[in-house]
Amino acid sequence: MNMIKTFACASALALAGGSVALVPAASAQSRQAMATAQVQSALVQSNAYRAAEQQINTAYAADIQQTQTRATALDAEMKPFVDAYNAAASQPGATQESIRPQAQALQQKRAAGQQELSRLQSRVSLARTYVIEQIDMRLADAVRAAMKAQKVDMLISPEAIIAREPYVDITPAIVAQLNTLVPSVNAIPPAGYQPGSIRAAAQQQQQQQQQPAPSGR
């Protein structure tokens, strides 16, 4: 079991993909050309992200090493739970009810291990989120610029395509635009930094608290 997560910013990446307007209005002279792109992949392929990742690996080398060491130890600690579950499941007439204790013990051990590793790499995860948010601020601009340069009117996800030619993928063009728009970013979060998702949740909660209570009739 390898529970080290080398990229813990799924929520930030979802925001990165969702912030892009994929279907701009077409003009009368438009070619109505279509293309595909892996927008999230373009972000992590950018020079700014790669350089920041190297800085993170250097600045938080101790955290990364500690996480890897603990993950290896957790693999060994998990083995008895896995063996117990497999032994119970292989018994003649085994049912979900009969193996429930072993399954629950395995699940609890795995969850505890993941939480521990998450704590150990919290500073690394926070730094990566900080990097992604900085690049994401110009991601939509990079997508639009790449579409304009490639004369593309509609950009769709590769997952929606049954078959395509390689040249319809403009991911490299988006990467090139990001490299121009965001040549570098800060890799170390400032003191007190919070990810945008946490700030948004706090702001929403504050707005809800400030709303006047409905008056009774």
| pLDDT for 118 | 97
| pTM (predicted TM-score) | 0.75
Domain ranges of the chain: 10-202
Q: Identify which of 156, 158, 159 has the alpha carbon closest to the alpha carbon of residue 147.
A: 156
**What is the C-alpha R_g of the chain?**
23
Is the confidence at residue 37, as pLDDT, over 70?
A: yes
Confidence band for 132, pLDDT divided at 50, 70 and 90: very high
Q: pLDDT class for 163, splitting at 50, 70, 90?
A: confident
**CB–CB of 177/39 below 8 Å?**
no
* Torsional class of 151: left (φ above 0), alpha (ψ -120 to 50), beta (otherwise): left
